């Protein structure tokens, strides 16, 4: 499943069902990446989603759902905090929530206000539960050609729903599209990948070669930043891996790489 393209800022969706066209939402501008420890997430999947979202000018918020399974102060909580701190450090927003017990839901709700967001994440992490909780039972469902309008991908047709979340303030829209729950990065060329590792950018400017891929080139400031602890080594390794896959890969083999990786993570827990 692919979010292939983001509509230009000014376009809007019109609801078909009513006689008078009604503006439903402005543009997709946020990807809510839902993660959990059971099933466990993999950094490889997170990094791919971040690349894909950035390539499409979507903001991302990382939401660790099922926080109730990793109680504050526990070793398991520390472990997942350390893993997610890597992303926080480079500028991504990270929220701990529990659809089950309510932790963090208000923070998430306020983050979604005034925006149109799409839910992504592996199955079983609790996306449907979250949506139900956020909707407080007042969800308005719109099915139809949203996916076509938003260009969510070739394979997504009728299952895409858009939910207007209840609450004060600017309206929040949340798009749930089973097909879009897994991002992929077909449309990123290997040589473009480096632009989507956002923490590389300030260092990349000072590389000796302006077209530095940050691999074996001499005078690479990104590699130096890794050595000096200014770029997380995990992210740099992830960059090298994804670069290699993009270089070798066709869509098909890349898709299977993505699936295998997240399935591994699910088994690992």
Residues found near ligand GDP in the complex (CB under 6 A): 65-66, 68-69, 98-100, 121, 123-129
* Nearer to ligand GDP among residue 45 and residue 242 (C-beta): 45
Which of Zn ion, ligand GDP, none interacts with 244 (beta carbon under 5 to 8 A by kind)? none
Residue closest to 139 by CA, chosen among 126, 123, 152, 128: 128
Residues 6+ apart with CB under 8 A from 160: 143, 144, 146, 147, 150, 152, 175, 176, 177, 179, 180
* Nearer to ligand GDP among residue 96 and residue 203 (C-beta): 96
Provide the 3-class DSSP secondary structure of residue 197: coil
Which of Zn ion, ligand GDP, none interacts with 129 (beta carbon under 5 to 8 A by kind)? ligand GDP
Interface residues with Zn ion (CB under 5 A) are 207, 212, 214, 220, 222
Which of Zn ion, ligand GDP, none interacts with 214 (beta carbon under 5 to 8 A by kind)? Zn ion
To Zn ion, the closest distance from the beta carbon of 51 in angstroms equals 17
Residues 6+ apart with CB under 8 A from 19: none
* Nearer to ligand GDP among residue 16 and residue 79 (C-beta): 79
Burial 171-191 (b: 16+ CB within 10 A, else e): bbbbbbbebbbbbbbbebeee
* Nearer to Zn ion among residue 31 and residue 212 (C-beta): 212
């Amino acid at each position: 499943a692919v979010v292939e393209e983001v509509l230009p800022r000014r376009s809007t969706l019109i609801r078909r069902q009513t006689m008078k066209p009604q503006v439903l939402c402005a543009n997709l501008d946020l990807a809510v990446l839902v993660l959990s420890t059971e099933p466990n997430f993999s950094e490889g999947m997170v990094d791919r989603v971040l690349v894909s979202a950035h390539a499409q000018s979507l903001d991302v918020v990382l939401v660790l759902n099922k926080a109730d399974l990793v109680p504050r102060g526990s070793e398991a909580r520390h472990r997942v905090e350390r893993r997610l701190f890597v992303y926080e450090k480079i500028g991504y927003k990270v929220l701990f929530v529990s659809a089950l017990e309510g932790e963090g839901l208000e923070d998430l709700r306020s983050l979604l206000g005034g925006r149109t967001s799409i839910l992504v994440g592996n199955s079983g992490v609790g996306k449907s539960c979250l949506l139900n909780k956020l909707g407080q039972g007042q969800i308005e469902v719109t099915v139809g050609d949203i996916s076509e309008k938003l260009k969510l991908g070739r394979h997504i047709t009728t299952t895409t729903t858009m939910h207007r979340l209840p609450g004060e303030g600017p309206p929040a829209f949340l798009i749930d599209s089973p097909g879009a729950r897994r991002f992929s990065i077909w449309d990123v060329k290997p040589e473009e990948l480096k632009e989507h590792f956002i923490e590389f950018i300030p260092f990349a400017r000072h590389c000796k070669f302006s077209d530095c891929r940050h691999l074996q080139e001499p005078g690479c400031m990104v590699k130096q930043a890794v050595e000096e602890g200014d770029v997380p080594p995990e992210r740099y390794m992830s960059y090298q891996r994804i670069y290699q896959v993009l270089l070798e890969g066709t869509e098909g083999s890349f898709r299977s790489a993505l699936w295998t990786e997240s399935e591994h993570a699910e088994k690992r827990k």
